[in-house]
Amino acid sequence: MSGDDDIFSRLSPRSRTLAGLVLALSNLMVVLDLTIANVSVPHIAGNLGISPDQGTWIITSYAVAEAICVPLTGWLAQRFGVVRVFTLAMAGFGLFSLLCGLSTTLGMLVACRIGQGVCGGPIMPMSQTLLMRIFPPETRGRAMGMWAMTTLMGPALGPIVGGYISDNWSWHWIFFINLPIAILCVFAAQALLRPVETDTAHVPIDKVGLMLLVFWIGCLQIMLDIGRDHDWFADPMIVALGLLAFIGFLVFIIWELTEEHPVVDLRVFRHVGFSSGLFTLCLCYGSYFASIVVIPQWLQASMGYTATWAGIVTALTAMAALFTAPIAAKLMSKVDARLLISAAVAWIGIMSLLRANWTSGVDFTAMAIPQFVQGFALPFFFIPLTTLTLGSVLPSETASAAGLQNFVRTMATAIATSLVLTEWSDSQRVSRNEMAGVLHPDQTQSLLSGLGFSADQTRQTISNLVEQEATVIAVDHIFLLSAVILFAAAVVVWIAPKPRTDVDTSAAH
């Protein structure tokens, strides 16, 4: 009996199926938490007495912490064992979810979200590693398909679940609901997965590289998050943070390229296919995530939507993706991956152009159609891009490339959130000033006065109208920029050579 056969025989078919469901559930919970807070930001901001801009720290802190922790996953698994790391990460995730729900200040909530991200980082790759370990090759495809569906369902369910809970219960419960799931996964993992624990070894860790990684990413993210409140580079503190991030990044690159056991293996960037694919991923995922951040905040702050309905509009894209994911997987073996990616990205760009014509009078249907239709293209972008990037590196570099890909994707989410909200705020201010400069309110004031409005009510009504129109113009501006970036990305992907067809994507996460 081979080693693999011995591993598969340690679990009965029933135990294997239950373990697969637990691993898929754990992955769903982590992916869900990336988007569940998006529609709840206005509720959280109002409850804690902070601005919606400050509320976005709740999104970016989680994403950044998760991104930093992902490169450590391989070392943790080798040092302590896959099952032990997975169990401890789930327990930590549940604990920090409880603390997030109990938070009474922004500082406490952001600190606990960082804890969530640190614990959540290893869960996605560890759940995938364990699936590959417990299922034999003949059933592995179905198991990975189930796992992939949870990755797509997370962004779909997150805004809806978050919106419903915020409207009907309290924003605290978007974190409390993680607790029973985490407890279930911890006990189930201990009961089902201990027989397939991996061997451990004292492997070295790049401590200097890790400290440099935390340093430059921390400086960059703080700069992006507080920059719009400090007039950007007019403030010496923002200049200092920018310089520290830049210098830290350069030192990090030099160190990692000369370190024998780097925390992030940057040598894979020598492959043109990997580099261009990763650049395309950054542009596309950042542009796609921009709408996930902007739409719910705009609908709630300016259009009078509840968090639930704002979540439904946001989630329609991911819902549509569930229908075309199986088709995209089948086409991978028949069509050039670059063609699929380029066409899908251009399709998403066209939907962004359609959304760039939204007005303050847009109804639910007019918003729902481009949101839903856009979703059909998502699997034709994500699935082939994984094959393209991992197919461009050596087989021995697949795990490093997959980890780096996930790191960059998560960082793109955090950075895009900060940049998009800054651009949205700036565009609102410019539009408001332009309208105020050409506005002739005398006739409107006379009309409103004739309807019984006082002078203060008249001024407030006109101000509200200007604010609403400035906000929707800024939203359109964001979609127009997204479309330009997406069309550029559709071209960039052709820099990559045609990928291999025999790619093991099991290391991707």
What totals of helices (H) and strands (E) does the chain contain, helices first? 22, 0
Comparing CA positions, the residue from 36, 27, 360, 24 lying closest to residue 171 is 36
pLDDT tens digits for range 139-195: 666 666 667 677 767 766 777 788 778 778 888 888 888 899 899 988 888 887 777
CB of 248 within 8 A of CB of 219?
yes
CB of 282 within 8 A of CB of 236?
no
d(CA 486, CA 492): 10
Say what the pLDDT of residue 500 is: 56
Comparing CA positions, the residue from 143, 123, 141 lying closest to residue 34 is 123
**Statement: residue 7 has pLDDT above 60:** no
In 3-state terms, what secondary structure has residue 198?
coil
Comparing CA positions, the residue from 243, 119, 139 lying closest to residue 182 is 119
d(CA 101, CA 290): 26
Same fold, 1-205 and 271-509: yes
Could you tell me the residue ranges of all domains in the chain?
A: 1-205, 206-262, 271-509
Say what the pLDDT of residue 125 is: 77
Residues of the chain above pLDDT 90, percent = 5
* DSSP structure class, residue 495: G
pLDDT tens digits for range 195-245: 777 777 777 777 888 888 888 888 887 787 777 777 777 788 888 988 999
**Statement: residue 1 has pLDDT above 50:** no
Give the pLDDT mean for 495-502: 65
Say what the pLDDT of residue 2 is: 45
| Cα of 332 vs its chain's centroid, Å | 24
Question: Rounded to 5 degrees, what angle do the CA atoms 170, 175, 177 make?
Answer: 90
CATH class of domain segment(s) 1-205:
mainly alpha
CA of 287: how far to CAs of 78, 476, 484, in Å? 36, 13, 10
- Please provide the DSSP assignment of 252-278 as one string: HHHHHHH-SS-SS-GGGGGSHHHHHHH
* pTM for the whole structure: 0.75
Say what the pLDDT of residue 246 is: 92
Chosen CATH of 271-509 out of 1.20.1250.20, 1.10.3720.10, 1.10.1200.10, 3.40.50.1820: 1.20.1250.20
User: Which class for 236: exposed (0-12), middle (13-18), buried (19 or more C-beta within 10 A)?
Assistant: exposed
497-503: long-range contacts at Cβ-Cβ below 8 A with a sequence spacing of 24 or more? 497/272, 497/273, 497/392, 498/336, 498/337, 498/338, 499/273, 499/337, 499/338, 499/387, 499/388, 499/391, 499/392, 500/391, 501/333, 501/391, 503/387, 503/390, 503/391
Say what the pLDDT of residue 25 is: 83
Buried b (16+ CB within 10 A) or exposed e, 142-180: ebbeebbbbbbbbbbbbbbbbbbbbbeeebbbbbbbbee
pLDDT tens digits for range 330-387: 777 777 878 888 899 999 999 989 888 888 888 888 888 998 998 888 888 877 777 7
Q: What is the total residue count of the chain?
A: 509
Residues of the chain above pLDDT 70, percent = 85
CB of 58 within 8 A of CB of 44?
yes
> What's phi and psi for 271, nearest 5 deg?
-85, 120
**Statement: residue 6 has pLDDT above 60:** no
pLDDT tier, 308 (very low <50, low <70, confident <90, very high otherwise): confident
Comparing CA positions, the residue from 49, 154, 56 lying closest to residue 104 is 49
